[in-house]
Amino acid sequence: MTGALPSLRVARIIRADAESLFRAWTDPEVLRHWWRQEGEGWAFAGAAIDLRVGGRYRLAMTDPEGRTHAAVGAYREVEPPARLAFTWDWEDAARSVGETLVTVEFKDAGEDRTEVIVTHERFADVARVGRHEQGWTELLRLLEGFIG
């Protein structure tokens, strides 16, 4: 499609049911166990979630230097336990990617496993896609390590 904005898609099959995984994405008490980046010194730094269409969220982590990285946006779709869609940008204007869209799908993969698919689209700058792809890949590994 001509003129389409850059996007990414990462997926991972995790040994857990869709309900548990959906909760892991939407409950601050569960998010605190896995929402950060891999590597020494990264830590969860809080979550505020208004889980309804139009409701806002803020998900934060700190890096090894103590800087906070907070993603903010609003929910566009909330369909437990199958689908979650939300706008995404960084709170810090210097890191802003503009208003992008993240969709997380939870699909039955058989044998008490669920495929978690993260699609992040509408990037205005293709240069920002790679780092976000790395970040989502790390988050899915951390989620699997926590819940699996």
pLDDT tens-digit series, residues 81-121: 999 999 999 999 999 999 999 999 999 999 999 999 999 99
Mean pLDDT of 30-55: 98
Mean pLDDT of 131-145: 97
pLDDT at 122 over 90: yes
Order of strands, edge to edge, in the sheet holding 100-110? 7-14, 113-121, 100-110, 83-90, 68-79, 56-62, 43-49
The full length of the chain comes to 148
pTM for the whole thing? 0.96
pLDDT at 75 over 70: yes
pLDDT at position 1: 45
pLDDT at position 3: 64
CATH class of the 7-147 domain in this structure: alpha beta
pLDDT tens-digit series, residues 21-41: 999 999 999 999 999 999 999
pLDDT at position 4: 82
